[in-house]
Amino acid sequence: MPRPAKMKIDLTALRHNCALISQVAPQSQIVAVIKANAYGHGSIKIAEALQGYISLLAVSCVEEAMLLRHEDIKTPILLLEGCFEASELLCASQNNMEVVFHNQQQIDDLLSKQLPKPIRAWLKVDSGMHRLGLKLDEAQDCYRQLKNSKNVKDSIILMTQIASADDLGNAHTQRQLADFHQLHQTLEKEFGDKIETSIGNSATIMGWETGSSDWIRPGIMLYGVSPLAESLPLAEKLEPVMTLKSEIIALRDVPKGDKVGYGSTWEAEKPSVIATVAIGYGDGYPRNARSGTPVLVNGQRAYVAGRVSMDMLSIDVTHISGVKVGDEVILWGKGLDINEIAQWANTIGHELMTRMPMRVPKSYC
Ligand SMILES: *Cc1c(COP(=O)(O)O)cnc(C)c1O
């Protein structure tokens, strides 16, 4: 029998989530964010499964986009950080990519070229997150430069990113949105253009009606995970795409007072049954998941006992009867929200799914 640690990737759930997003934002077009190997789900399979459901994919860079082109994915692809050097513009133009421009250098690079086909430009402004984007007072000049370039298609999209959209009602978010909308109006007036906008990541889409825009950019929610702590009705309807599972490969009775695992950090407070599961931090399960982190054994909750090893972890199954070697253990996914595990490990669901290593085989259904 092969090692049982594996990921199930549910493409029906993916399409369900995508349809749900269309329902809540019927006026918006969806840019499906599949950077970082589709958050660990496998970008090629995810891109294939989304064909016909969305009009635009998004990745971080040309290299990620070319992986998809080599697999014959024809959907247009947006480069979220734009080109890292001028030579990439030619590749973008030849391969049906749309390009973010977040600084003057990228615009200068574009103006210095003669591209075989014009590209669609996304002008990214910094409305207050202070990570990427042009200053609000530079935007008008940059918009003009792009608009006057033969290398740029007619419609330039104005985009921004919100820093704290997961905090509902946050005043900084209100300010970011107000400043962005103000800039948008100014540009439309100045240039007499109808300018499309793009604001929302998942948290903005789910938490901020005022953050709606022509193009929304869901990432984590496509994969069925909410970025918000609140249990909103929409969050309840999302279905997790990734389920991480393995099996029990050993079982033992541990007497009261004995300890389990590296560093002997967990102690049996009563006679206990400890199961060893074939999955560890070498499989993307976080080593800093503390004792008490839940797992599902035959649909019931059991708890991590002691430190997670590279290939294995121990769980306390004292309270569950009939547990045997070979029983399935779910680490996150269907029935166990990855955000709950992330909290026990002091991180977020985004990170846990994105850093899944190649060692864990994926099966798609
Ligand atoms: C990654 C990313 C997103 C998607 O974020 P989620 O929180 O996963 O929805 C949206 N927009 C930009 C610019 C991004 O880099």
Convert the pLDDT of each residue in 90-124 to its tens digit: 999 999 999 999 999 999 999 999 999 999 999 99
Active-site residue, selected from the candidate residues 6, 8, 35, 124: 35
Q: Name the closest-CA residue to atom 10, ligand 1.
A: 201
Instruction: Of 3, 80, 73, 5, give the one whose Cα is nearest residue 42.
Output: 73
From 80, 131, 205, 242, mutation site for ligand 1 pocket: most ligand atoms within 8 A of C-beta: 80
User: ∠ CA(227), CA(287), CA(11), 5° rounding?
Assistant: 45
For residue 288, what is the DSSP state?
A: T
Among 135, 153, 256, 262, the active-site one is 262
User: What is the residue with the minimal CA distance to atom 11 of ligand 1?
Assistant: 201
* Pocket perturbation via mutation, ligand 1, pick of 20, 166, 217 by most ligand atoms within 8 A of CB: 217
Q: How far is the CA of 49 from the centre of ligand 1 (A)?
A: 19
**Distance from residue 94's CA to the centre of ligand 1 (Å):** 25
Q: Are 119 and 95 in contact (CB under 8 A)?
A: no
- Every domain of the chain and the residues it spans: 11-224, 242-364
pLDDT band at 18 (very low <50, low <70, confident <90, very high): very high
CATH assignment, 11-224: 3.20.20.10
Asked if the 242-364 domain carries CATH number 3.40.50.620, the reply is no
pTM listed for this prediction: 0.96
**Quick one: which atom of ligand 1 is closest to the CA of 39?**
8
- Distance in angstroms (rounded) separating the CA atoms of residues 50 and 11: 9
- What is the number of the ligand 1 atom nearest to the C-alpha of 60? 15
**Ligand 1 centroid distance, CA of 290 (Å):** 28
Residue with tokens 């407070």: 269
> Active site includes 262?
yes
254 DSSP β-pair partners: 272
CA 59 to ligand 1 centroid distance, Å: 10
Nearest ligand 1 atom to the CA of 159 is: 13
pLDDT score for 144? 98
Confirm whether 259 is a catalytic residue: no
Contact 340, 317 (CB under 8 A): no
Q: In the predicted model, what is the mean pLDDT of the chain?
A: 97
pLDDT in tens, 197-245: 999 899 999 999 877 899 999 999 999 999 998 888 899 999 999 999 9
Residues 75, 72: Cα–Cα separation, whole Å: 9
Residues lining ligand 1, CB < 6 A? 33, 35, 80, 161, 201-203, 217-220, 227, 350
Q: What is the pLDDT of residue 211?
A: 75
3-state secondary structure at position 228: coil
Q: Which atom of ligand 1 is nearest to the CA of 132?
A: 13
Q: How much of the chain exceeds pLDDT 90, in percent? A: 97
For residue 267, list its beta bridge partners: 259
